[in-house]
Chains A and B, each alone.
Chain A
Amino acid sequence: MTVLAHPGSKAGNSLSLNMKLLAHHELDGFGGIGEGMALQKTKDGRRILWMAHESAPKNFTGIDVTDRANPKMVVQTELPHAKVRSNSLDVVGDLMVVAYQTQTVGLSPAGIDLFDISVPESPKLLSHLDRSGPHSRGVHCVWFVDGEYVHMSSGAADFEPHNPLDDQIYQIIDVRDPKNPKEVGRWWYPGTKKGDTEPQPRRLEKKFDCGFRAHNTNVFPKRADRAYCGWLDGGAVVLDIADKTQPKMVANWRYSPPFNGFCHTVLPMFSKNLLVVSDECVQDGGADWPKLVWMVDARDESNLVPIGTFPMPPVSAFGKRGGRYGAHNMHENLPVETSFQSEDLIFGTFFNGGVRVYNIANPFQPEEVAYFVPGAPPTSPAGAIQINDVYVDENRTIYAADRFGGGLYVLELTI
């Protein structure tokens, strides 16, 4: 009899509970996707899933998912050079916003592009907002759901941080005239800009110091005067943006140290006065464990109180499976027609832990109800799947993408 140490711990195996793979598209060999996924319903009735690539050479890819079990590529675009990446995008109607972030400061293009995608096969550039500068790497992440304002984490030509890790701040861009986008307001973590009178924030120890930057900056029309921001090592930040020209901080839940930083997403559950807050795991092999999804009581927004975390398999099961293992992007309940919106079922990505689905009916005890962990893509440098982002459409079809070579996985919940 052969003794198998851990037959399933081979990263080649797929694992699933209550989820079924409907289709897999490798994106023509460029299957590394960043953190931008959006679903367009075209005027001719097609459904196009747009994805921003994690790194060069590709910029963004549009996949026709009208027949979700048979996805077809309609367009894949190139970046101008290898030291820039798009990473993030959002779509409202036929208008798409794409982020550009450079590897080092001082390069360009660094900013956002606005595209008319009414003909998905040939996106038409409407404008570019330049955010390049001597201390800027451009735009990491965009949020665009109302057709009027882009909320983003970005550097700026006139923003000089004390620490280069703190370069990307919250910026509000008016795109009501998409050919002429304009900044209307900004906010940065107090003490991080040269010239601030506030003391500089206490940094994490070097091995975990990721900076005090904005990551996701989400604004929902139903609470248009609030921006919910993950601020990396600064934790969760809620801003009052009733006056867009002068955002003010109303809440900051700062939990690192003792935790290891990199707060990524702050997702409000308005009907429950809760926030779902996700970290991002940024180190391989479990080196920055634990990176978690938190449940936070927000009844008093000036006093955010964590009340639980989402259960994940132990780090001993996945930590050494290859690449990163820990929390990352959530499906963000985008307030658009093509997005699933729920304050009970929450979808998250966990790199080599795949896509995992939680029922938060009891917020004190979130329950994992489904998961799908694809087997390692053959070309993955991590040697394992690294699910990076997830988008759930209004029919509960789940689109999940790999960070490196795996491309797009189309899944359905069987519950």
Chain B
Amino acid sequence: MSDALTASQVAGKLPVTVITGFLGSGKSTLVKRLLTRPEMSRVAVIVNEFGEIGIDNELIAEVSENMTLLSNGCLCCTVRTDLEETLRELFIKRRAGEIIDFDRVVIETSGMADPTPVVHTMLTDGMVFSRYRLDGVVTLIDAINGPGQLKDFPEAGKQVALADRIVITKTDLAKPADIEALTDTLTEANPYASIYTAVQGEIDPALLIDVIPARPRAEQVDSWLFGNDKGEGEGGYLSNRVRATHTMNVSSFVLTFDTPFTWDAFAAVTQLLTSLRGPDLLRVKGLVNISGEIGPVVVQGAQHLFHPPVALAAWPSDDRRSRIVFITRNIPKQAVEGLFTAAAGLAAH
């Protein structure tokens, strides 16, 4: 397993940011604003249609049927037949010098979509997997219509559950009390994503990129795992903020384990969990203490697919416990905890 656990394998891949959110949540506005920022000048944006992000005036040159160069040097492309093919074609053209040396990909998903398949694309296609890495899922939610969408559409709940960053949009149009209530709802559903607000797509790109760092440093890992608010007091990660919740049938909880796992035991129990309850395992991410490894091993997955584990050189703090965030649908914490405790117990004997 040590061969698979190298940060440099991940570091060489092009980061991909997935921007998701319900219809009307302001994805296109956000993407359009992001593209005007100088630090986003070597980005390839994948959208469903050019018209969607309203950049017709910015299109200066057609590279191919579905790829267009923007005035700021960015590349904009539409999904041709499927996302895998589009990502593959982008890399092939980049390598052949036919398009800009983009250093980041931003994918804007369609509004009604469950973003999980997009995340899975990064893992299941051999060439895509060897060239790209998921940098993070940014979910936009409209302050006005968001609460209703969360109630009525399961896809909206999944978008929130998958998020590493949540951006509440149109806050200029909503009452402060409504924004607060929405924030509470989102925090309950996914307490491990940082929540920001944006009006007219104005947000510092730094908040949305390099979410899952290629060479994770301790403080970055904390921020990715647990959001900006890491909790105070005893236990740190186990602050009173972190509790099992049942908004939209989505539960979130953190499990911690004092005993290191062997990789085989950890992998086996993860496999068992995904095979039994994969569809309901909306997001899993954590730092795991694996026997024989100096630093923690970063694991993350969505539903039945997990990213390759990445071994860090050092722990973020003196706390050597494994801690794993679960965002699930209708899976009680106790059930998951029981499985992992059994695995840890087996490893100890």
Q: Which residues of A contact B (CB under 8 A)?
A: 1-4, 6-9, 13-18, 313-314, 316-318, 321, 361, 367, 369-371, 373, 414-415
Given the known A-B contacts A15-B101, A18-B12, A367-B130, are A1 and B61 also in contact in the complex, defined by CB atoms under 8 Å?
yes
Please name all residues of chain A whose beta carbon is closer than 8 Å to the beta carbon of B12 when the two chains form the complex.
17-18, 369-370, 415
Q: Is the CB of B62 within 8 A of A415?
A: no
Q: Does B318 contact A (CB under 8 A)?
A: no
Please name all residues of chain B whose beta carbon is closer than 8 Å to the beta carbon of A373 when the two chains form the complex.
97
1/0 contact string of B92-125 vs chain A (CB within 8 Å) = 0111111111000000000000000000000000
Q: Would you give 30 A-B contacts (Cβ < 8 Å), ordered by A?
A: A1-B59, A1-B62, A2-B62, A4-B61, A4-B62, A4-B63, A7-B69, A7-B98, A8-B94, A8-B96, A8-B99, A8-B100, A9-B97, A9-B98, A13-B97, A15-B95, A16-B101, A17-B94, A17-B101, A313-B95, A313-B96, A317-B96, A317-B97, A317-B98, A318-B96, A318-B97, A369-B12, A370-B12, A371-B95, A415-B11
Q: A371 to chain B: closest CB distance in Å?
A: 8
Q: Is the CB of A7 within 8 A of B61?
A: yes
Please name all residues of chain B whose beta carbon is closer than 8 Å to the beta carbon of A13 when the two chains form the complex.
97
Give complex CA distance A414, B63 in Å.
28
Give complex CA distance A369, B11 in Å.
10
- Main secondary structure, interface of B, reads mixed
Please name all residues of chain B whose beta carbon is closer than 8 Å to the beta carbon of A318 when the two chains form the complex.
96-97
Give complex CA distance A58, B250 in Å.
73
Residue of B whose beta carbon sits closest to that of A6: B98
Pick from B3, B61, B62, B97: contact of A361, CB under 8 Å: B3
Q: Does B317 contact A (CB under 8 A)?
A: no
Q: Which residues of B contact A (CB under 8 A)?
A: 3, 8, 11-12, 59-63, 69, 93-101, 130
Pick from A7, A316, A367, A415: contact of B8, CB under 8 Å: A415
Given pairs A314-B96, A414-B11, 9 additional interface contacts (CB within 8 A)? A2-B61, A4-B69, A7-B63, A8-B94, A13-B97, A17-B95, A369-B12, A370-B12, A415-B12
Residue of B whose beta carbon sits closest to that of A13: B97
Please name all residues of chain A whose beta carbon is closer than 8 Å to the beta carbon of B94 when the two chains form the complex.
8, 15, 17
Please name all residues of chain A whose beta carbon is closer than 8 Å to the beta carbon of B8 when the two chains form the complex.
415
Give complex CA distance A94, B11 in Å.
38
- Main secondary structure, interface of A, reads mixed
Give complex CA distance A357, B195 in Å.
40
Give complex CA distance A7, B93 in Å.
10
Q: Is the CB of A2 within 8 A of B60?
A: yes
Residue of A whose beta carbon sits closest to that of B96: A317
Give complex CA distance A310, B344 in Å.
43
Give complex CA distance A113, B223 in Å.
61
Given the known A-B contacts A361-B3, A367-B130, A370-B12, are A8 and B98 also in contact in the complex, defined by CB atoms under 8 Å?
yes
Please name all residues of chain B whose beta carbon is closer than 8 Å to the beta carbon of A17 when the two chains form the complex.
12, 94-95, 101
Given the known A-B contacts A361-B3, A370-B12, are A8 and B61 also in contact in the complex, defined by CB atoms under 8 Å?
no
Given the known A-B contacts A367-B130, A369-B12, A415-B12, are A7 and B99 also in contact in the complex, defined by CB atoms under 8 Å?
yes
Give complex CA distance A415, B215 in Å.
9
Residue of B whose beta carbon sits closest to that of A373: B97
Q: Is the CB of A15 within 8 A of B61?
A: no
Give complex CA distance A313, B93 in Å.
10
Give complex CA distance A414, B93 in Å.
21
Residue of B whose beta carbon sits closest to that of A415: B12
Please name all residues of chain B whose beta carbon is closer than 8 Å to the beta carbon of A8 when the two chains form the complex.
93-94, 96-100
- For A4, A13, A14, A367, the residue with the greatest tally of chain B CB atoms inside 10 Å of its CB is A4
Give complex CA distance A317, B91 in Å.
13
Q: B318 to chain A: closest CB distance in Å?
A: 30
Q: A384 to chain B: closest CB distance in Å?
A: 11
Give complex CA distance A321, B8 in Å.
32
Q: Is the CB of A1 within 8 A of B97?
A: no
Please name all residues of chain B whose beta carbon is closer than 8 Å to the beta carbon of A18 when the two chains form the complex.
12
Pick from A1, A314, A370: contact of B60, CB under 8 Å: A1
In the A-B complex, list the 9 residue pairs whose CB atoms are closest, starting with the nearest. A317-B96, A8-B97, A415-B12, A415-B11, A8-B98, A2-B61, A4-B61, A15-B97, A18-B12
Q: B11 to chain A: closest CB distance in Å?
A: 5
Please name all residues of chain B whose beta carbon is closer than 8 Å to the beta carbon of A6 when the two chains form the complex.
97-98
Q: A272 to chain B: closest CB distance in Å?
A: 14
Please name all residues of chain B whose beta carbon is closer than 8 Å to the beta carbon of A1 when the two chains form the complex.
59-62
Give complex CA distance A6, B99 in Å.
7
Residue of A whose beta carbon sits closest to that of B214: A415
Residue of A whose beta carbon sits closest to that of B99: A8
Please name all residues of chain A whose beta carbon is closer than 8 Å to the beta carbon of B69 when the two chains form the complex.
4, 7
Residue of A whose beta carbon sits closest to that of B215: A415
